[in-house]
Chain A
Amino acid sequence: MNEILLAEFENPNKLLKAAEKLSDCGYSSYDVYSPFPIHGMDDAMKLKHSKLGWIVLCGCSLGLLLGFLMQTFMSLDYPLIISGKPFFSYPAFIPVTFEIMVLFSAFSTVFGMFALNKLPQHYNPIFKSDYFRKATCHGFFLGIDSNENGYDREKLRNLLSEIDAKHIEVIEDDV
C-alpha cells in the first residue's frame, strides 16, 4: 500500500528551504504544493526545464505547413478567377497560414501542458486530507510519496520537524 507523508509549512520561504533541504539529502520525487508558483522553487527542487516548448514548436510547424498546403490545394482544386490573379497566389495565403499556425500552437500549448501534468486527474490520494484543502488558498505543503527511494517514514518525519514543518500527517492510498 502506498502512502504520502504530507507536511505543512508556514510560508513560501520555509517551503523553499524545506525543498532545498530535501534535495540536498538526495530525495528527488517529492513535490511541493502552493496556491501560486513560488519563485526559485524549480531550482530548489532541481527540476529539469519544461519540455513544453518542443511540443509547441511541433504544433506550430504542423499548423504552418498544413495551413499553407490546405490553401494551395483548395485554390488549385477549385480555381477561382479573381482579377486575373494566379491561382497559386501565395502572398494572399499568408494571413490564413498565420492564423492556423497560431491556432495549432495554442492547442498544442494547452493540451501539451495537460499531457505533461497528467491532467485531468480527478483522483489523487492527497485529496483525502481535509487539511490539504488549504493548498489552493493559503497553505504551503510538501508531500513525499512512499515510492521515493530510501523512504523511511520516521526518519523523514524527524527531518521535516527539524525544518519547521507545522503539521505532519500520513495519507494512505488504498487503491
Chain B
Amino acid sequence: MVASTNDIVKVKRPDLVLPGETFESVTNIVSKPMEMKLPSWWLIVFLVSISGVLLLKSMIAYLIWEGIGVWGLNNPVGWGYAIVNFVFWVGIGHAGTLISAILFLFRQKWRTGINRFAEAMTIFAVICALIFPGIHIGRQWVAYWLFPIPNSMGMWPNFKSPLLWDVFAVGTYFTVSLLFWFVGLIPDLATMRDRAKGKIRQMVYGIFSLGWRGSNRHWQNYEKAYLFLAALATPLVLSVHSIVSFDFAVSQLPGWHTTIFPPYFVAGAIFSGFAMVVTLMVLARQLFNLKALVTIGHLERMNKIILLTGMLVGYAYGMEFFMAWYSGYQYETFAFVNRATGPYAWAYWIMVSCNVISPQLFWFKKCRTSIPIMFVVSIFVNIGMWFERFVITVTSLHRDFLPSSWGYYSPTWVDVCTFIGSFGLFFTLFLLFLRFLPVISIAEIKNVMPQADPHHGEEH
C-alpha cells in the first residue's frame, strides 16, 4: 500500500484497560486479592508449596551431611541436575527483566499490565537458581571462597574463570532486579498504606512506602530513576545469560564450544520466561479476577513473543547442526549426531517437539487467544526448555573423546526431589506475593489509561 504523507493511518490498538474502569476502580481491582478473605485454594496450594520447601531443605541437609555422592553424577558426567536447574531457573527470570526493562525502553505500554508480576517471578526464580551453584560445590561450608573476601589464607578468586563471572553476573542481576522491583512498588505500597483498615497493615505498608505522597517533585526524580534502572537492566539481562552460556562455551568440549551460545541462551531464556509468565498469569487473572487489567490482548502479545523466541531457538538448534557438519571436525559432528540419535535421543526429541513444534500453533490467532491452548503450550515450553539444558549439559559430557570413558547419567531420587523442592520454594514465594503485594502496578496502569492524559477530553 502506498500512502501519501498526508494520510495519517490510524491503527486502532486494543484497549490496555477495559473501557469503563476509573482510577478508583483500578485500585480496587488490584487491592482486592490483598483485602479479601483468604481463599481456601490459596491455603491449600500454600501448604503444598511449603511442603516442597521442607523437601528442598531436607534434601540439601542430606546432601551436605552425606556428600555429593547422593547425586547421580559420575565420571564423565560431572555436571548434572544442579547446573541444569540453575540455568533453567535463571532463564525463567529473564522474561521479567525483558518485560520490565526492555519493553519499557521500547515504550511498549502493554507491559504495564504484567510487569510487576513478571518482575516478582524474576526475583523468585533467581532465588531458586542461586541455591544450586551454592550447594553443588561439594564443600558448602567454604562457599565464601566464591567471593573476593580477604581471608587468612591470602587467597583470591580466579577472575579468569567464567564460573566466577557467573557469581558476579547472577549476584548483580538479583540485586538490580530487587532494587527495580522495590522502586516500582513504592507508589503502590503508599496506595495500600492509605487504604489500609488495620493498624498493623498501615504500619507495615507505611514503613516500606518510605513516606511516599505522590509529589510531582518526587515523581520527577522517580521517573528518571526508573528510566535509568531500565537502561541498566537491559544490558545486564543480556550479559547475565551470555555469561551463563560462557560456563559452557569457554570450555573446549564438542557441543559446548560454540560462539552461538550467548545469543542462543538469551533467546531461550526469554522464551522460557515468557512461557512461565503465561502459565502463572492465566491462573492468577482467573483466580483473582484481574481480567479487566490483564486482557486477552496482553496474553496474545506474550504468545507472539513466545512464537518469535521459539523460532530463534529452533534456528539455533538447526545452526548448531550445520556448524557441526560445516566445521569438518569429527568430534563436533559426532556430538550432534549422538544428540539426535544416541542414548539421549529421547531427551533431544522431547526438547525439539516442545520448543520448536508446539509454539507453531501461535501462528493462528485462534490459538494465540485461546486460554486452554496457550496454557498447555506454555507448560510444554517450560518442559522443553528444561530438557534443552539437560540435553546441552548431559549429552555433551556422556560421550568423552575416548570410548573407554563413555558413560550414562541418570538422576537419583535426591536429584529429583531437590528439583521438585525448588518448585515448592518458587510457589511459596509467589503465593505470598499474590497475597501481600499488588500484583499489578497500580500507578503505572493508571498512567496508560486515557483519562490520565492531561489533555483528555479537550477539543482539538
Verify if B422 is at the interface (C-beta below 8 Å from A): no
Q: How far is the CA of A15 from the CA of B452 in the complex (A)?
A: 12
Verify if B159 is at the interface (C-beta below 8 Å from A): yes
A12 touches B452 (CB 8 A): yes
A36 touches B443 (CB 8 A): yes
Contacts of B206 in A (CB 8 A): 122
Q: How far is the CA of A79 from the CA of B213 in the complex (A)?
A: 53
Measured CB to CB, the nearest residue on chain A to B215 is A31
Interface residues on A, range: 35 or more
B232 touches A105 (CB 8 A): yes
* Given A102-B232, A119-B212, A80 contacting B158 (CB threshold 8 A): yes
Measured CB to CB, the nearest residue on chain A to B25 is A138
Verify if B289 is at the interface (C-beta below 8 Å from A): no
Verify if B135 is at the interface (C-beta below 8 Å from A): no
Q: How far is the CA of A87 from the CA of B236 in the complex (A)?
A: 27
- CB contact between A119 and one of B180, B218, B442 (< 8 Å): that residue: B218
Residues 202-233 (chain B) with a chain A CB within 8 angstroms: 206-207, 210-225, 228-229, 232-233
Verify if A16 is at the interface (C-beta below 8 Å from B): yes
- CB contact between A37 and one of B159, B222, B243 (< 8 Å): that residue: B222
Q: Tell me the minimal C-beta distance from A129 to chain B in angstroms.
A: 11
Q: How far is the CA of A82 from the CA of B161 in the complex (A)?
A: 9
Residues 106-129 (chain A) with a chain B CB within 8 angstroms: 106-107, 109-110, 112-114, 116-117, 119-124, 126-127
Contacts of B212 in A (CB 8 A): 119, 136
Q: How far is the CA of A105 from the CA of B207 in the complex (A)?
A: 25
- CB contact between A113 and one of B155, B175, B221, B453 (< 8 Å): that residue: B221
Q: Is the interface of B mostly helix, strand, loop or mixed?
A: helix
Which of B41-49, B68-76, B165-173, B426-434 lies at the binding interface? B165-173
Residues 180-200 (chain B) with a chain A CB within 8 angstroms: 180, 182-183, 187, 190-191, 193-195
* Residue with the greatest number of chain B CB neighbours at <10 A, chosen from A82, A113, A123, A127: A113
Verify if B322 is at the interface (C-beta below 8 Å from A): no
Residues 134-166 (chain B) with a chain A CB within 8 angstroms: 148, 154-162, 164-165
B191 touches A137 (CB 8 A): yes
A113 touches B160 (CB 8 A): no
A32 touches B168 (CB 8 A): no
A121 touches B210 (CB 8 A): yes
User: Per-residue CB proximity of A120-147 to B under 8 Å, as 1/0?
Assistant: 1111101100001111111000000000
Verify if A27 is at the interface (C-beta below 8 Å from B): no
A50 touches B195 (CB 8 A): no
B216 touches A41 (CB 8 A): yes
A138 touches B24 (CB 8 A): yes
Q: Tell me the minimal C-beta distance from B46 to chain A in angstroms.
A: 29
B221 touches A50 (CB 8 A): yes
Interface residues on B, range: 35 or more
Verify if A42 is at the interface (C-beta below 8 Å from B): yes
* Residue with the greatest number of chain B CB neighbours at <10 A, chosen from A13, A78, A100, A102: A102
Verify if B259 is at the interface (C-beta below 8 Å from A): no
Verify if B122 is at the interface (C-beta below 8 Å from A): no
Q: Tell me the minimal C-beta distance from B41 to chain A in angstroms.
A: 28
A117 touches B217 (CB 8 A): yes
Q: Tell me the minimal C-beta distance from A15 to chain B in angstroms.
A: 8
Q: How far is the CA of A92 from the CA of B168 in the complex (A)?
A: 13
A52 touches B225 (CB 8 A): yes
B210 touches A114 (CB 8 A): yes
Q: Tell me the minimal C-beta distance from B225 to chain A in angstroms.
A: 4
- CB contact between B221 and one of A19, A33, A52, A126 (< 8 Å): that residue: A52
Q: How far is the CA of A70 from the CA of B159 in the complex (A)?
A: 10
Contacts of B210 in A (CB 8 A): 114, 119-122
Q: Tell me the minimal C-beta distance from A40 to chain B in angstroms.
A: 6
Listed A/B pairs (11) with beta-carbon separation below 8 Å: A11-B456, A12-B456, A35-B442, A36-B447, A37-B216, A37-B219, A38-B219, A75-B160, A85-B160, A113-B221, A133-B195
- The 7 A-B pairs of least Cβ separation, nearest first, read A74-B156, A120-B210, A113-B225, A138-B23, A37-B219, A121-B211, A133-B194
Show the binding face of A for B, using Cβ within 8 Å: 11-13, 15-16, 19, 31-42, 45, 47, 50, 52-53, 56, 70-71, 74-75, 77-78, 80, 82, 85, 89, 92-93, 95-96, 98-100, 102-103, 105-107, 109-110, 112-114, 116-117, 119-124, 126-127, 132-138
